[in-house]
Amino acid sequence: MSDDLVKQSIAELQDIVRCRCHPAYTGRGMHDPDCECDSADAVQVVAARIEELETKLAKAVEALGRIASGEFSGRMLTSMPPQDAAAYFARTTIAELKGEDRG
């Protein structure tokens, strides 16, 4: 599924569940009993999570490309045997994607 299609689908969902409270209530500072804004918040949470996962996926793809090509930077990594550098780079990338300390 393309990124554009996902973004378009999220936008359509956000439009469907957009808060449409009656101004007769909101204009007087009252709650419209027919206004369901919880769904709009839920769609926003899902959209934010998808964006976060897409960012992590892009980092993983970049890391895999670097591992496959043997492109490592840093004195420590370039001084290691290639398979050790690849394993170290993979572990630190996984830790970063999981939000763990890479120390």
Q: How many domains does the chain have?
A: 1
Q: What is the dihedral of CA 20, 5, 49, 102, to 10 degrees?
A: -160
Report pLDDT for 83: 82
Residue 33 domain boundaries: 1-54
Q: Is residue 93 part of a domain?
A: no
Whether 32 maps to a domain, the answer reads: yes
Give CA separation, 23 vs 20, 26, 41, 53, 101, in Å.
9, 5, 20, 37, 49
Mind listing the pLDDT tens digit of every residue in the chain (103 residues)? 677 888 888 888 888 877 778 888 878 888 788 776 767 788 888 889 998 888 888 988 888 888 888 777 666 667 778 788 888 888 888 888 888 765 5
Q: Residue 10 falls within a domain, yes or no? A: yes
Residue by residue, DSSP assigns 42-79 as HHHHHHHHHHHHHHHHHHHHHHHHHHHHT---SHHHHH
In a domain, residue 35? The reply is: yes
pTM score of the predicted model: 0.62
Classify residue 42: in a domain, yes or no.
yes
